């Protein structure tokens, strides 16, 4: 049985978490062939903040932030391996390289500089984890994802070169029973320049590895026991889903369900590799499984919320109908600005779109539209998307609130509400 595991940042956030993860692998879970790990805890955010200080030429802030990242990692190395260790030296070496490179990268485009900086979090975490697993007798081989995941040079959102990646990963195949441990989130161009796959991209890395190895299953270990039919932090009575199909999981992640990265599913679906989501805190608890077959999650009502939405109402200035050509013009401007419409609703004289409120992307799109269209906007909205709901359930969820916009098809209903009218905690009607 060829298993691939993925451990997220929370599962390795400090020395105790790494010990716990080691115990899980040594005693409680079947040994995987390969593993992917994220950066420790909130390291990726800390590296983003470091980059910001570097780009602003704020040397004091930059030094302070670099020292904090360094201290965090060295403290874990010390707790696990004692005051002086080869691991600590290796971490220092990687951070020194990062520091040296900053000066060289200062005038490079932001996305390139981002990848060279932020991608290091996974190199640090996996160095610690590999050493710890070997220490406790789980034979582990550290592999550099930059030699395995080959991408184009679209920094911060790199596209996978599947042929090259499969070739590289296949060449890893080995006879002994070491666990291969590599980094999530990062890859490299064919020339070896580090790239990243987008925030929360480690799930996707694990799926790429599983696909290329033709694994029998991928398990993502999280701090929640599985997938729910609504975000349990927002819905008091969210229910865990035992099984659901790839197609349904894809729809739910597309509409904003957060537990797994949306790009994760396609490579698994291609080869029919089931994805298990399980809790590293309660490894015995029943997991959720996404696979080729239908499951209860394919019919159970499921809710997704998107906060901080903006509704744009776009009307042709000359009063003409919103025909295909005009729609294409509007959507092209959105695509160029990297904006995604979470809801689209067309009428004769206007097109309405709900988007995430991202002023830096919105301004160029609106400027480009100004000549032919007038645009009205409403801010501070919440988009509720519900799958497999009937009218009674939708109305009960709505609770008499004003509906600002709506879009519906046979399986999915979307309703936009004013944030001020929405509850802090929601309830799914039973
Ligand atoms: N460390 C990266 C992030 O926090 C990737 C991941 O965790 O999936 O976005
Ligand atoms: Mg993470």
Round the average pLDDT of the chain to a whole number and report it: 95
Residue 390 lies in a domain: yes
Please state, for a pLDDT cut of 90, what percent of the chain lies above it: 93
| 415 lies in some domain | yes
Test site for ligand 1: of 37, 38, 196, 220, most ligand atoms within 8 A of the Cβ: 38
- Is 209 in the same domain as 312? no
Which pLDDT band holds residue 175 (cuts at 50, 70, 90)? low
pLDDT band for 74, please (50, 70, 90 cuts): very high
Q: Give domain status of residue 236, yes or no.
A: no
Give residue-wise pLDDT tens across range 103-157: 889 889 999 999 999 999 999 999 999 999 999 999 999 999 999 999 999 999 9
Cα(4) to centroid(ligand 2), Å: 17
What is the mean pLDDT of the segment spanning 275-292?
A: 96
Lowest mean pLDDT among 43-47, 91-95, 173-177, 334-338: 173-177
HSE value, Cβ hemisphere, 13 Å, CA-based, for 306: 24
Mean pLDDT of 88-101: 96
Q: Which residues have a Cβ under 8 Å from the Cβ of 319 and sit 6 or more positions away?
A: 349
The residues facing 316 across adjacent strands are 373
Give me the domain span that covers residue 315: 302-421
Contact 232, 300 (CB under 8 A): no
Domain end call among 174, 195, 223:
223
Q: Residue 279 and residue 299: Cα distance in Å, rounded?
A: 24
- The count of structural domains within the chain is 2
Instruction: Looking at the structure, tell me whether residues 198 and 312 fall in a common domain.
Output: no
Please tell me the predicted confidence (pLDDT) of residue 361. 86
- Tell me which ligand sits closest to the C-alpha of residue 223: 2
Please indicate, yes or no, if residue 378 is contained in any of the structural domains.
Answer: yes
Strands 405-408 vs 412-418: parallel, antiparallel or unpaired: antiparallel
State the average pLDDT over residues 202-214.
97
Instruction: Compute, in angstroms, the gap from residue 21 CA to the centroid of ligand 2.
Output: 16
Specify the residue with its C-alpha closest to ligand 1, atom 8.
Answer: 200
Residue 59 lies in a domain: yes
Residue 273 has pLDDT above 70, yes or no: yes
pLDDT reported for residue 262: 83
What percentage of the chain reaches a pLDDT higher than 70?
Answer: 99
Q: Tell me, yes or no, whether 296 lies in a domain.
A: no
Same domain as 190, residue 52? yes
| pLDDT of 254 higher than 80 | yes
Judge whether 254 lies within some domain: no
CB of 264 within 6 A of ligand 1: the answer is: no
Q: What is the arithmetic mean of pLDDT over 381-396?
A: 96
Q: Is the C-beta atom of 38 inside 6 A of ligand 1?
A: yes
Ligand 1 within 6 A of CB of 257: no
Tell me the two tokens of residue 311. 């509704």
The closest alpha carbon to 127, from 90, 81, 99, 95, belongs to 90
Per-position DSSP letters for 329-362, written without gaps between them: HHHHHHHHTT--EEEEEEETTEEEEEEE--HHHH
**Distance in Å, CA 132 to ligand 2 centroid:** 20
197 and 106 fall within a common domain: yes
Q: Is the CB of 39 under 6 A from ligand 1?
A: yes
pTM above 0.85, yes or no: yes
Domain boundary pick from 223, 248, 277: 223
Q: Is the pLDDT of residue 8 over 90?
A: yes
Within-domain flag for 161: yes
The CATH number that applies at residue 410 is 3.30.2130.10
**The ligand 1 atom nearest the CA atom of 45:** 4
Q: Is the pLDDT of residue 172 over 90?
A: no
């Amino acid at each position: 049985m060829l298993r691939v595991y993925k451990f997220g940042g929370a599962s390795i956030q400090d020395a105790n978490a790494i010990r716990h993860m080691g115990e899980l692998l040594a005693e409680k879970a079947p040994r995987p062939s390969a593993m992917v790990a994220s950066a420790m805890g909130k390291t990726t955010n800390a590296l983003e903040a470091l980059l910001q200080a570097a780009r602003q030429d704020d040397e004091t802030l930059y030094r302070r932030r670099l020292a904090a990242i360094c201290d965090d990692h060295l403290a874990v190395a010390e707790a696990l391996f004692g005051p002086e260790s080869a691991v600590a030296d290796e971490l220092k070496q990687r951070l020194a390289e990062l520091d040296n490179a900053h000066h060289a990268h200062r005038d490079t485009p932001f996305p390139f500089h981002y990848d060279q900086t932020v991608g290091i979090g996974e190199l640090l975490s996996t160095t610690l984890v590999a050493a710890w697993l070997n220490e406790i007798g789980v034979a582990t081989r550290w592999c550099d994802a930059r030699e395995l995941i080959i991408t184009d040079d679209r920094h911060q959102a790199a596209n996978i070169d599947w042929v090259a990646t499969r070739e590289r990963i296949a060449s890893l195949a080995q006879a002994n029973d070491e666990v291969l441990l590599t980094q999530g989130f990062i890859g490299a161009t064919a020339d070896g320049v580090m790239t990243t796959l987008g925030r929360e991209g480690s799930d996707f890395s694990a799926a790429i590895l599983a696909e290329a190895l033709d694994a029998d299953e991928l398990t993502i270990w999280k701090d929640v026991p599985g997938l729910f039919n609504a975000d349990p932090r927002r819905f008091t009575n969210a229910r865990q889903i035992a099984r659901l199909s790839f197609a349904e999981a894809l729809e739910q992640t597309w509409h904003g369900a957060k537990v797994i990265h949306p790009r994760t599913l396609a490579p698994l679906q291609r080869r029919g590799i089931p994805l298990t989501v399980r809790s590293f805190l309660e490894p015995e608890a029943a997991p959720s499984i996404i696979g080729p077959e239908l499951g209860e999650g394919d019919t159970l009502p499921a809710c997704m919320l998107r906060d901080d939405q903006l509704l744009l109402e776009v009307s042709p200035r000359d009063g003409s109908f919103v025909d295909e050509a005009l729609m294409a013009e509007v959507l092209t401007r959105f695509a160029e600005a990297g904006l995604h419409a979470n809801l689209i609703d067309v009428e004769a004289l206007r097109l309405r779109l709900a988007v995430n409120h991202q002023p830096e992307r919105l301004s160029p799109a609106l400027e480009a539209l100004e000549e032919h269209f007038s645009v009205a906007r409403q801010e501070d909205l919440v988009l509720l998307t519900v799958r497999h709901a009937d009218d009674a359930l939708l109305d009960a969820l709505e609770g008499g609130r004003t509906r600002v916009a709506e879009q519906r098809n046979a399986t999915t209903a979307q309703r936009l509400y004013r944030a001020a009218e929405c509850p802090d905690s929601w309830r799914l009607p039973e």
